[in-house]
Amino acid sequence: DSGVTQTPKHLITATGQRVTLRCSPRSGDLSVYWYQQSLDQGLQFLIQYYNGEERAKGNILERFSAQQFPDLHSELNLSSLELGDSALYFCASSVMAGLSTDTQYFGPGTRLTVL
Amino acid sequence: TQLLEQSPQFLSIQEGENLTVYCNSSSVFSSLQWYRQEPGEGPVLLVTVVTGGEVKKLKRLTFQFGDARKDSSLHITAAQPGDTGLYLCAGPSTTSGTYKYIFGTGTRLKVLA
């Protein structure tokens, strides 16, 4: 158990819909990262927040957005869902702002299926 | 764009054999990290290498960072079924002042008893 929690574990929805994935970081961690893992694209970095502020942005689509709240939990919002958005979405957390040697702890993931 | 290519993509070996997994890039990385991911779970950090030429050992696993910090390798001695999983290298990427964290293409290892 990494100490990072993600809900829900599974999510099945239809194209065009909007969903929200939730992540609670480990106690004391200030950074939250979001990743998408699919068979054809591998593990892709989406976005990072540090203490409520956006720190880094990766391959995140405009239909996707995220935020980190004052209690440090984070939400990833996915809208106008397409079949290709079906994937595992991971949240990770770390203590620092993402320095090169900072350790990221990954949650168990949310499996999103878009029908 | 910095990329991390891993080889081989798939590896199936017998228990007790040795193996090496490679992680290569045309770009310099300030550090590289290795993870193992098991089905249905998130990646778990194994090691971080920072200095060119650095070698780190974790029980039967030996990690090396290339002298030029463009490549890394993971060597497993006497593989066991418990080593089965997806091995990923990863590192911070700064392109045009934009910070990202990128993962390699992955090596899926299966160790047969």
**What share of chain B in percent tops pLDDT 90?**
84
Residues of chain B positioned with their CB less than 8 A from the CB of A107: 42
Gyration radius (Cα) of chain B, Å: 14
Question: What pLDDT score was predicted for residue A72?
Answer: 96
Confidence (pLDDT) at B93: 82
Neighbours of A59 (CB within 10 A): 14
Q: What is the pLDDT of residue A62?
A: 95
pLDDT of residue B96: 67
Q: Is residue B102 classed as helix, strand or coil in its secondary structure? A: strand
- pLDDT (average), residues A35-54: 91
Phi, psi of B29 (to 5 degrees): -115, 140
Asked if the model's pLDDT at residue A87 lies above 90, the reply is yes
> A47 to chain B: nearest residue by CA?
B100
- pLDDT of A113 reads 97
Cβ-defined contact of B41 to A108 (cutoff 8 Å): yes
Q: Is B39 on the interface with A (CB under 8 A)?
A: no
Say what the pLDDT of residue B99 is: 74
- Higher pLDDT pick, A99 / A6: A6
Report pLDDT digits (tens) over B64-111. Answer: 999 999 999 999 999 999 999 999 999 988 776 677 888 999 999 999
C-alpha B8/C-alpha B106 separation (Å) is: 8
Nearest CA in chain A to B30: A100
Asked if A90's CB is within 8 angstroms of B42's CB, the reply is yes
Average pLDDT value for chain B: 93
pLDDT score of B23 more than 80: yes
pLDDT tens-digit map of A59-68: 899 999 999 9
- Confidence band for B3, pLDDT divided at 50, 70 and 90: confident
Judged against a pLDDT cut of 60, whether residue A99 lies above it is answered with no
Q: Say yes or no to pLDDT of B46 above 90.
A: yes
Confidence of residue A39 (pLDDT cuts 50, 70, 90): confident
Write the CA distances from B93 to A51, B96, B99, B100, B102, integer angstroms: 21, 10, 6, 5, 7
Residue B56 pLDDT: 97
Mean pLDDT to the nearest integer, A23-50: 93
Q: Do B43 and A109 touch (CB under 8 A)?
A: no
- Structure confidence at residue A59 (pLDDT): 82
Whether the CB of A26 is below 8 Å from some CB of chain B: the reply is no
What pLDDT score does B97 carry? 66
Q: How far apart are CA A63 and CA A57, in angstroms?
A: 14
Closest Cβ–Cβ partner in A58, A101, A104 for B100:
A58
For A42-58, what is the mean pLDDT? 92
Residue contact B48–A56, C-beta within 8 A: no
